[in-house]
Chains A and B, each alone.
Chain A
């Protein structure tokens, strides 16, 4: 053991180069003013693992250690407060209030309730550990992943409650909630099964298990055994607090219920009109080829497996065992509550002209599929007098839609929830976890219009969401969706496509629509400026040959920035010929002569109306490693336009006006891609289906 040189070691996890201008780094360093002799900073460039933490514990010369990831957020006095606290006592650990999103301004008044304990991030970050005691724990428990170290530490030392210091720490991303956590491959336990009477620990453990199961749905492979998971559920009585997890992770909650009671294999997941969707968990040994055959057969028959529509969602290996999760459509009469008058069944009430129907796009921005469907529906079906469109009154679209006679309701207000409660149908381009007085999208009708075509493989996300109808655009997407939602998928095409027209006759506008990179969320301006993302985009915007071409041909390149980089727009080099587009996506696409992007699916709207498109993917080899999802589409063999990875090739494609040349290969691909979509009947097809629910 090294001689104690400091009170605290701050371990900063940051891939090179370290962003020394980031707010978090600067705030950490500012503690030196008063506490310089009390702490030291150590930067690790690789992601923290249990092994690395063990090594750090053995080598740091301080009494305490705290881990901070460069992209995380801290309050201004986080480190001084921590040091002051630790300097006056010996403790197992000290921690601030922890968050996944932005740190609230009044974080000190955060109520430490069930919800806080459940949603609090439980990774090692932000917590000051006693180095000696952490070393003891890691010495005893080596098979726990980093994501379980904090919980293992508290279980091992029976730390049942912790009063947070009045500082805030945020992991600044809810990605783990969306895609879960994936422990290192050799991890065989999530935490040691040391009983605890602490209700807050049980909530932390529930969250940890939920996120593990969510991650397991992505990897489908772990060394953690079903026995361990069952032990976890029973030791900590984890079914008791599932109400907190249900609305975000209903799939995982069903899974936990099955772990608790393995004899009950079928778990109701989503009520539907004619039958209900169940998740069926089965760990009995099967001949694997059987199920795969069934699944393939199902897809071949448009989602139906012989007589049934069941689909295999997962086949997950847990050590030596295999767990199969099937989505099964079973008769409604399996539910005894339907025979009881204290159960209200939203499906028993038919959709009629008196029905309240609620439409909405994004809270701050309409102009998407719900708006277009609403406009069509109210025009063609004026007998439905209670169709509402929900929007934030501060949205710039409010006035426009009000002038068009939309029946507007302020979204997420009591009035909105009251209408939701009364409604017979919700139709949206967004999936929000609506919950009010027991009504959810799991027990009522919901038509999901999507806000684009899915090019990434989001099937696990799709499988965990509630919808009665999932609108697909073209056979390719519909076939993909039917692997997880054979009954719900409707290949009608997006409503906005029906009225989208190519208004580019004589247009001299080119359109560039780069999408976003998750790893740049917290980057300092300088760090952002140094990123490959910025460099690649700005190189296009400032390319001399391209600018000359634009000037010579009197064209303008419109750049439609992703909403996440709007605030950094000033860093880009716009000019007379390269302008930042203020138009809506729809208007910009409609008016463009040629549209290119890196990965955005929005260009498919352009392809749909026959506008040439192209992909410029300067980081194709790395892009999907850093994103939460994987690409489903092979852009080179299935894309509806050429793919460039080299800046010069893109510029030549434009300046040589190759984009204007028709290409039969792309026309063929496009025809296949959009197969099944009858442009004139997109809205009517959806309306027929939604009114029949």
Chain B
């Protein structure tokens, strides 16, 4: 039986809560309480143990009808490595791949944005019990709270950052952006604090460490929790510092690794004189995020894709001749999108090729990145000269490996990185070298070999070392005949962006690890309006009549692709065309029998990403992929995964 008084109390309480959490009230409160003047009040509230309430209350305000949700999955052990989705009705509101949480903690995903506060409307795609908390305020963890406190991260309106160094009269500005943490971390929102930099290093510099505190694990600082663009708000914060301290444009450095690198590229846009230091940034977010970890979370945010992609921005920066230090690895084609591996003759660009997986690059090259920062912070430009005592070259099936012995008396004493340095036109190229257990020996390991297809062996000039204190050592590389023996003249590779309106064969090159393949492709708007791209793999693009084919399909786009070097990387070419088209599905037509195997790879790839693939027998082609896939061409050709 219902108690009318209790019901009334509940109704009033809910109304009061709604009023209190209304956007107007919260916006006002947030503005007031996050201002610098409110610091004493914040301390007082914290002393009373009310900081949690304040934090939730002042957390970003979602548009009406949107809520923050926290999902806990109970039986995660049973589903380790599997993908799951959280569905609100039939709509996927969040998805991820299950990874073990930190020891002793539940598997939680916080700050999923949903449009209902009714828990009953949600279900999981996997057969696991789960709990869902839904509220108006953002969720956090004690670990995140402690982290923010430790690093001094504070909220300023909708933007979060910590400040270091000279906060009174800086002449330089060092701005850092964070990468992703592990998806199950208790600290979902980190800052790139760079503990190695000391107060002395930052004596003339204000360091601003931004926190990407949006959505479940960050939004590339492109959108807020409500999906609204953040770009102007963040730009205003940066401009605020510049104006407040009168920072000269060339006295700024933007730094970020991985996601942080992409954000750095984004927010350097208005500052052409600033230096840019990035490691493994994602060039094309749609391409990079098209994977189980992201597919059903930030990939689904339209705001991620509607802004100019980092690739487009950095191409502009290349054209402007900005000073850019770019660390990358050839095993990271998803981030690179075949740009940095091939680009050359760009003034101001230093490209550092570090081996290893995406996540290893920043860690390995940290001494160099600290050196670049410290040289910037101290205006240090000097170098020490050292010598290469010995150089040995090895030929491994055409790839070249190198071993050098440097003068042990003229080398860095602290942690350092060594590089083989050369020029690619006006671009500086540095290949990371491995440390031998003999301190004076440096060499290229298997992943660091030089490949005549993409590397200019004749352009190699020196051995360079950077230590984290900012020291630079340069040694001339003795010319060795073996290094360039039997090497054909190098071909430069086009790096133009992949276009949906190629209108005539264009060349596009893809690099993955040590593989390089060139493609001739043509892509046009189809005559139909089905959200699909038809991709025809052809043996000779000049003999293929794409103009005619586009009239015989209802697809939105049609493309023809000819692999010029080998059958490798066709899968990536198709995938890139598909993603750039932003269509819902792709149909693949294989006219070149020799490429049917790569075509099956495409299928496997799409299976993994739950994309619909259509296969059909091109009317005019003698051989179809079905022969290889052992499918019946007469059957309906749409495969749903």
Inter-chain CA distance A150–B567, complex, in Å, is 67
- The reply on A407 being an interface residue by CB < 8 A is no
Q: Are B408 and A422 in contact (CB under 8 A)?
A: yes
Docked complex Cα distance between A437 and B441 (Å): 12
Task: Kindly list chain B residues whose C-beta atoms are within 8 Å of the C-beta of A421.
Answer: 438-439
Judged by a CB distance under 8 angstroms, whether A527 is at the interface is: no
Q: Which of A342, A421, A437, A438 has the most CB of B within 10 A?
A: A342
Q: Are B394 and A349 in contact (CB under 8 A)?
A: no
A404 within 8 A of B: no
Instruction: Please measure, in the bound complex, the distance between the C-alpha atom of A339 and the C-alpha atom of B390, giving whole angstroms.
Output: 16
In the complex, whether A111 has a CB less than 8 A from a CB of chain B is no
| Complex interface: stretch among B37-45, B175-183, B399-407 | B399-407
Q: CA A461 – CA B394 in complex, angstroms?
A: 38
Instruction: Determine if A344 is an interface residue (Cβ-Cβ < 8 Å).
Output: yes
Contacting B at CB under 8 A, from A331-388, are: 339-342, 344, 348-349, 354
A342 to B434, CA, bound (A): 8
Give residues 407-453 of B contacting A (CB, 8 Å). Answer: 408, 434, 436-441, 443-445
Whether A340 contacts B394 by the Cβ 8 Å rule is: yes
Task: Decide yes or no whether B9 CB sits under 8 A from chain A.
Answer: no
Count the B residues whose beta carbon is within 8 Å of the partner chain — how many?
20
Inter-chain contacts of A342 with B (CB < 8 A):
403, 434, 436, 443, 445
Q: B401 — nearest CB in chain A belongs to which residue?
A: A341
Smallest CB-CB separation from B441: which chain A residue?
A344
A439: Cβ under 8 A from any B Cβ:
yes
Q: Is the CB of B438 within 8 A of A341?
A: no
Q: Give the CA-CA distance A676 to B434 in the complex, in Å.
A: 50
Q: Are B444 and A438 in contact (CB under 8 A)?
A: no
Given known A-B contacts A340-B394, A344-B438, A438-B437, A349 and B443 have beta carbons under 8 A apart: no
Residue of A nearest to B440 (CB): A422
Determine the chain A residues whose CB is within 8 A of the CB of B390 once the complex forms.
Answer: 348-349
Instruction: Decide if A437 touches B437 in the complex (CB within 8 Å).
Output: yes
Q: Which residues of B contact A422 (CB under 8 A)?
A: 408, 440
Tell whether, in the assembled complex, residue B438 and residue A438 are in contact, meaning their CB atoms are under 8 Å apart. yes
For residue B551, CB closer than 8 A to chain A, the reply is: no
Q: Which of B389, B437, B443 contacts A341 (CB 8 A)?
A: B443
- Given A349-B390, A421-B438, A437-B437, A341 contacting B405 (CB threshold 8 A): no
Is residue B244 within 8 Å, beta carbon to beta carbon, of the partner chain?
Answer: no
Interface positions, chain A 632-652, Cβ under 8 Å from B, are none
Check A439–B438 contact: CB distance below 8 A: yes
Q: Which of A341, A342, A418 has the most CB of B within 10 A?
A: A341
Q: Whole-angstrom distance between the alpha carbons of A418 and B408 in the complex? A: 10
Q: Tell whether, in the assembled complex, residue A344 and residue B436 are in contact, meaning their CB atoms are under 8 Å apart.
A: yes
Within 8 A of B (CB), among A225-240: none
Residues of B within 8 A of A438 (CB): 437-438
User: In the complex, A473 Cα to B436 Cα: how many Å?
Assistant: 41
C-alpha spacing A339/B394, complex, angstroms = 7
Q: Which residues of A from 301 to 351 have beta carbons under 8 Å from B?
A: 339-342, 344, 348-349
Known contacts A348-B390, A349-B390, A438-B437; is-contact A341 B408 (Cβ 8 Å)? no
Is B18 on the interface with A (CB-CB < 8 A)?
Answer: no
- Alpha-carbon separation in the docked complex, A10 to B569 (Å): 80
Q: Looking at the assembled complex, report how far the CB atom of A516 sits from the nearest CB atom of chain B, in whole angstroms.
A: 40
Contact: B403 with A344, CB < 8 Å? Answer: yes
Interface membership of chain A positions 401-423, coded 1 if the CB is closer than 8 angstroms to chain B and 0 otherwise: 00000000000000000100110
Q: Does B392 contact A (CB under 8 A)?
A: yes
A425: min CB distance to chain B, Å? 15
In the assembly, what is the distance between CA of A340 and CA of B392, in Å?
10
CB-CB contacts of B325-341 with A at 8 A, as 1s and 0s? 00000000000000000
Which of chain A's residues have a CB closer than 8 A to the CB of B403? 341-342, 344
Measured in the bound complex, the distance between the Cα atoms of B441 and A439 in whole Å is 13
**Which residue of B is nearest A418, CB measured?**
B408
Smallest CB separation, B21 vs chain A (Å): 61
Complex CA–CA separation, A494 to B589 (angstroms)? 83
Quote the shortest CB–CB distance from A617 to chain B (angstroms): 50
Chain B residue nearest to A439 (CB atoms) is B438
Give A180 to B405 CA distance when docked, in angstroms: 41
Which chain B residue lies CB-closest to A354? B389
Tell me the chain A residues, 510-552 only, with Cβ under 8 Å from chain B: none
Residues of B within 8 A of A349 (CB): 389-390, 405
When chains A and B are docked, how far (Å) is the Cα of A418 from the Cα of B396? 32
In the bound complex, how far is the Cα of B407 from the Cα of A354, in angstroms?
A: 11
The complex places the Cα of A438 from the Cα of B439 at a distance, in Å, of 11
**Which residues of chain B have C-beta atoms less than 8 A from A348's C-beta?**
390, 392
Which residues on the B side are within 8 Å of A341 (C-beta)?
Answer: 392, 394, 401-403, 443-445
Q: How far is the CA of A418 from the CA of B390 in the complex (A)?
A: 18
User: Nearest Cβ in chain B — how far from A338, in angstroms?
Assistant: 9
Instruction: Find chain B residues with CB under 8 A from A354 CB.
Output: 389
Task: State the CA gap A354–B409 with chains docked (Å).
Answer: 13
In Å, the complex CA distance between A413 and B439 comes to 18
Residues from 425 to 446 in A contacting B, C-beta threshold 8 Å? 437-439
**Of A340, A348, A354, A438, most B-chain CB atoms within 10 Å:** A340
- CB neighbours of A439 from chain B (8 A): 438
CB distance from A380 to the nearest CB of B (A): 25
A339 to B396, alpha carbons, bound, how many Å? Answer: 9
Q: What residues on A are CB-neighbors of B402 within 8 Å? A: 341
Cα distance A207–B212 in the bound complex, in angstroms: 60
CB closest chain-B residue, reference A436: B438
B394 proximity list for chain A (CB < 8 A): 339-341
Cα A439 to Cα B405 in complex, Å, equals 15
A348 and B391 CA atoms in complex are apart in Å by: 10
Q: Which residue of A lies closest to B390 (CB)?
A: A349
- In whole angstroms, what is the CA distance A648 to B151 when docked? 93
Find the A residue at minimum CB distance from B434.
A342
Q: Which parts of A542-574 form the interface with B (CB within 8 Å)?
A: none
For residue B405, which residues in chain A have a CB less than 8 angstroms away from its CB? 344, 349
Near B by CB (< 8 A), chain A positions 607-622 give none
Min CB distance A603 to B, Å, is 44
Quote the shortest CB–CB distance from B434 to chain A (angstroms).
7
Complex Cα gap A438–B441 (Å): 13
How far is it, in angstroms, between the C-alpha of A342 and the C-alpha of B439 when the chains are bound? Answer: 12
Smallest Cβ-Cβ distance to A343: which chain B residue: B403
Residues of A near B392 (CB, < 8 A) are: 341, 348
Q: How far is the CA of A340 from the CA of B438 in the complex (A)?
A: 15
Instruction: Write the nearest CB–CB distance from A438 to chain B, whole angstroms.
Output: 5
> B50 to nearest A CB, angstroms?
54
Q: What B residues does A418 contact at CB under 8 A? A: 408
Which B-chain residue is minimally distant from A438 (CB atoms)? B437
Q: How far is the CB of B494 from chain A (nearest CB, A)?
A: 32
Residues of B within 8 A of A344 (CB): 403, 405, 436, 438, 441
Measured CA separation A277–B439 after assembly (Å): 28
Residue of B nearest to A344 (CB): B441
Write the A437-459 contact mask toward B (1 if CB under 8 angstroms, else 0): 11100000000000000000000
The chain A residue sitting closest to B408, CB to CB, is A422
Q: Shortest CB–CB separation between residue B477 and chain A, in angstroms?
A: 14
The chain B residue with its CB closest to the CB of A348 is B392
Q: How far is the CB of B437 from chain A (nearest CB, A)?
A: 5
Instruction: Name which of B405, B438, B444 has the most chain A CB atoms within 10 A of its CB.
Output: B438
Q: How far is the CB of B110 from chain A (nearest CB, A)?
A: 45
B402 closest partner in A (C-beta):
A341
Q: How far is the CA of A342 from the CA of B392 in the complex (A)?
A: 11
CB neighbors of B among A66-106 (8 A): none
Distance, CA A354 to CA B405, complexed state (A): 14
7 contacts between A and B (CB under 8 A): A339-B396, A341-B392, A341-B402, A341-B403, A348-B390, A421-B439, A438-B438
Closest 9 CB pairs of A and B: A341-B443, A341-B403, A341-B401, A344-B441, A438-B437, A341-B394, A344-B438, A437-B437, A349-B390
Residues of A within 8 A of B (CB): 339-342, 344, 348-349, 354, 418, 421-422, 437-439
Besides the known contacts A342-B403, A344-B436, 8 further A-B residue pairs in the complex with CB atoms under 8 A apart: A339-B394, A341-B445, A348-B392, A349-B405, A422-B408, A437-B437, A438-B437, A438-B438
Spell out B's residues near A (CB within 8 Å).
389-390, 392, 394, 396, 401-403, 405, 408, 434, 436-441, 443-445
